[in-house]
A and B are shown apart, each in its own frame.
Chain A
Amino acid sequence: MMIRIAAFLALVCLCTGESCSDPVITPSAYTTSDAVISSESVFIVELSLACANGAQSVALYADVNGRQFPVTRGQDVGKYQVSWSMPHKQASSGTYQVKFFDEESYSSLRKAQRNNEDVESIQPLFSVNVDHRGAWNGPWVPTEVMAALIGILVYYLAFSAKSTIQA
């Protein structure tokens, strides 16, 4: 009898996966700031997760603006990373909200998507806001063009002043 109960409990533990209660996160984010050197805008969110119940290998899934991906795990326990890239034109500046789901809430999210239900009502485990300042593309007018225009302007002014003096 005891063996059967133990086996049943073991099976339950294996099947449900680990869930996290009271997650405490330390996030850090990186976004591309220089569009001259990089060919695409890249967003990286790294975080360390600590759970109150001591759960260690929690599987997480991330959702950003409707795109979902599994969260990469680092070698150290509790370290996760989400990264995505998009062309510079599409990466507008502003705040991107990254929602993190565990197995349960992720499967209910997928179910809601399939049935076209309200996706916003599924509560994520936690979410991180990423501020993107926008990538710098270089000055609007190249300085050589500006210098040439100013040079032409100065020459014109000097020429007209000379004509006025000599007239």
Chain B
Amino acid sequence: MRALYVFALLALLGQGTGEEGARLLASKSLLNRYAVEGRDLTLQYNIYNVGTSAALEVELSDDSFPPEDFGIVSGMLNVKWDRIAPASNVSHTVVLRPLKAGYFNFTSASVSYLAQEEGQVVVGYTSAPGQGGILAQREFDRRFSPHYVNHLSFQTICMVIVDFSQRPLTGVPVKSLDTPTHSMVFLYLYYFLHCRIIVKTSTMK
């Protein structure tokens, strides 16, 4: 009878210690509004310990970026922490540079840790941002660069058309501002066409 009680107590204790230990949740996210070829791509990994004891020998390793498609600007893709305290989190950032445009599937990184001292190694995965498009440099520039040269050259052309010189008044009124190419209708039309060209080329695939 007493053996039964002892056995039951041990079983309960075993159940209790089974739930203790560290538990890590990891997320991987892109801190970019746009992913552009040749510009920085920022990745952030957050690891939260929601368990009751510290996680030991935590290793984060991300092999999902082939070196020929992504260059590393700053940060390391394989890192480790000695311990992550319970109810705390750590964050890790890496900056990459995409070398090719197109679609890319951002998959999970893997996290391995010891839930308890002398315990087994637990392997988990971070969340995955999913499929994203990496814009080509030209497309991004068409939409977002200031187009200084375009605007400057257009304004120069307009200035050339408009004639500011004050000619002496003769019997014949000066016609330079009334010919078809110098009327305000033409100027409006010209500006409208120019803007249309910029918009059309920026939405072209």
Contact = CB atoms under 8 A, between A and B. Distances in A.
Interface string B53-88: 000000000000000000001111011111110000
A33 B75 CA distance: 16
Interface stretch (B12-20, B30-38, B118-126): B30-38
Interface in A22-78: 28, 30, 32-34, 36-40, 42, 44, 46, 57, 59, 69-70, 72-75
Contact of A166 (B39, B90, B144, B173): B173
**Majority secondary structure of chain B interface residues (helix, strand, loop or mixed):** mixed
Given A30-B74, A30-B95, A143-B146, A158 B177 contact: yes
Contact of A161 (B42, B75, B93, B164): B164
B167 A154 contact: no
Contacts of B138: none
Contacts of A69: 90-91
Nearest to A57: B82
Interface stretch (B2-10, B99-107, B109-117, B147-155): B147-155
Interface size, B (range): 35 or more
Contacts of B162: 154, 157-158
Given A154-B155, A154-B158, A161-B164, A34 B74 contact: no
Contacts of A70: 81-84, 90
Nearest to B74: A30
B34 to A, nearest CB: 5
B32 A73 contact: no
Nearest to B61: A75
B193 interface: no
Contact of B166 (A34, A154, A157, A164): A164
Given A143-B146, A154-B158, A165-B167, A83 B75 contact: yes
Interface in B19-59: 31-34, 36, 39-40, 42, 44
A20 B9 CA distance: 47
Given A83-B93, A143-B151, A37 B32 contact: yes
Given A74-B79, A139-B146, A143-B151, 15 more contacts: A30-B75, A32-B40, A37-B32, A38-B32, A39-B31, A44-B95, A70-B82, A75-B76, A81-B75, A138-B144, A144-B151, A146-B151, A154-B162, A158-B177, A159-B184
